[in-house]
């Protein structure tokens, strides 16, 4: 898949995973495992970019004697998720017009 | 490759980012490692899932370039240079993955680059000074604890001769000094080993930095 396209789709996927409930790195990867190929090395830059863009917030809490960073979606993140969903729909509509029912 | 080795390699590839960012990345991977261990994965599987440290570092550096619009534009090329000079060569076969598939000739070239760099480094006069200092420090570090322990043991043995002569005060003094010297010698040993390791690591970093500049 084209990197730029995948980057945009991954942003939507990560935001979607966090929008359901507060989440953490490994849980996000586990949630998305059946949807898209994503690893820790791919996830870190996405989380950082989304955080610096104000689309999610983080907090660190203790879990089983160690620290774990939790991610929460912000209002701006919800808006970005909605616009991402619409873009995916647009891509899907183009695909359908081009190829019909072909997979 | 163990997780600690993977983490150290990642750390070495992230020298151009701020210390705060580096710590954050390492914390992120420590958390991911612990979570995967809790989920039942073994160390080797986790390392494979994490991918090559070089790739992980490159993704982070590329993201920094994107977000800072060129502020850190030399970072990725610096990583490439440093990678060519050592880290890629050290990477075990199973860790090379897509990186190795995409760059087989680069792997061969990197070995020659390491050899060329070592030859160039030997022609660089300060290198001989560095080698002399390292040699001197290693000799001192090996000798010092042995001297302390040897003198201490000698004092303890001699103290018993003093006891035989009825010199109780001398015996106690010598015995005390002897044990203090032995203790110091034993304590010094791990500290000096750590010091030598740190010094070699610093020299390695300095040469990687110089290599990256070219």
- pTM across the whole model: 0.55
Among A41, A49, A69, select the one facing B31 at the smallest CB separation.
A69
Cα torsion B178, B184, B186, B189: sign: negative
- pLDDT for the residue B65: 65
Closest CA to B29 of B49, B51, B7: B7
Q: Say which range, A75-84, B35-44, B71-80, has the weakest mean pLDDT.
A: B71-80
Interface confidence (ipTM) of the complex: 0.88
**Residue contact B35–A25, C-beta within 8 A:** yes
- Vertex B34: Cα angle to A19 and B55 (nearest 5): 80
Among A52, A66, A69, select the one facing B67 at the smallest CB separation.
A52
Q: How far is CA B120 from CA B77, B111, B132, B193, B207, in A?
A: 21, 14, 17, 29, 11
Residues of chain B with Cβ-Cβ distance to A42 below 8 Å are 59
- pLDDT for the residue B66: 62
The pLDDT of residue A31 is above 90: yes
pLDDT band at B1 (very low <50, low <70, confident <90, very high): confident
**Residue contact B59–A69, C-beta within 8 A:** no
Q: What is the DSSP letter of B91?
A: S
pLDDT band at B94 (very low <50, low <70, confident <90, very high): very low
Q: State mean pLDDT over B87-100.
A: 39
3-class secondary-structure state, position A73: strand
3-class secondary-structure state, position A38: coil
Name the residue with higher pLDDT: B107 or A54: A54
């Amino acid at each position: 898949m084209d990197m730029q396209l995948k980057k945009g789709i991954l942003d939507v996927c990560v935001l979607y995973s966090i929008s359901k409930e507060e989440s953490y790195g490994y849980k996000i990867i586990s949630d998305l495992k059946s949807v898209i190929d994503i690893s820790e090395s791919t996830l870190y830059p996405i989380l950082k970019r989304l955080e610096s863009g104000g689309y999610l917030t983080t907090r660190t809490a203790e879990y089983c004697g160690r620290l774990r960073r939790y991610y929460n979606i912000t209002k701006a993140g919800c808006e970005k998720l909605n616009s991402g969903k619409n873009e995916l729909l647009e891509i899907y509509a183009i695909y359908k017009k081009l190829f019909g029912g072909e997979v | 490759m163990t997780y600690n080795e993977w983490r150290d390699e990642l750390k070495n590839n992230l020298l151009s980012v701020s210390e705060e960012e580096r710590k954050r990345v390492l914390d992120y991977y420590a958390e991911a490692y612990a979570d995967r261990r809790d989920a039942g994965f073994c160390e080797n599987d986790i390392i494979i899932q994490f991918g090559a440290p070089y790739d992980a570092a490159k993704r982070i550096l590329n993201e920094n370039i994107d977000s800072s619009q060129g502020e850190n534009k030399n970072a990725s090329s610096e990583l490439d240079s440093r990678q060519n000079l050592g880290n890629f060569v050290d990477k075990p076969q199973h860790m090379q993955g897509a990186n190795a598939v995409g760059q087989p000739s680069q792997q061969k070239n990197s070995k020659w680059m390491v050899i060329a760099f070592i030859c160039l480094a030997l022609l660089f006069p300060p290198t001989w000074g560095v080698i002399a200092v390292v040699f001197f420090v290693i000799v001192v570090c090996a000798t010092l604890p042995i001297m302390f322990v040897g003198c201490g043991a000698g004092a303890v043995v001699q103290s018993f001769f003093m006891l035989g002569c009825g010199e109780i005060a001398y015996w106690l003094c010598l015995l005390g000094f002897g044990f203090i010297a032995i203790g110091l010698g034993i304590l010094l040993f791990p500290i000096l080993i750590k010091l030598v390791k740190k010094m070699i690591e610093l020299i390695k970093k300095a040469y990687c930095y110089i290599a990256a500049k070219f």
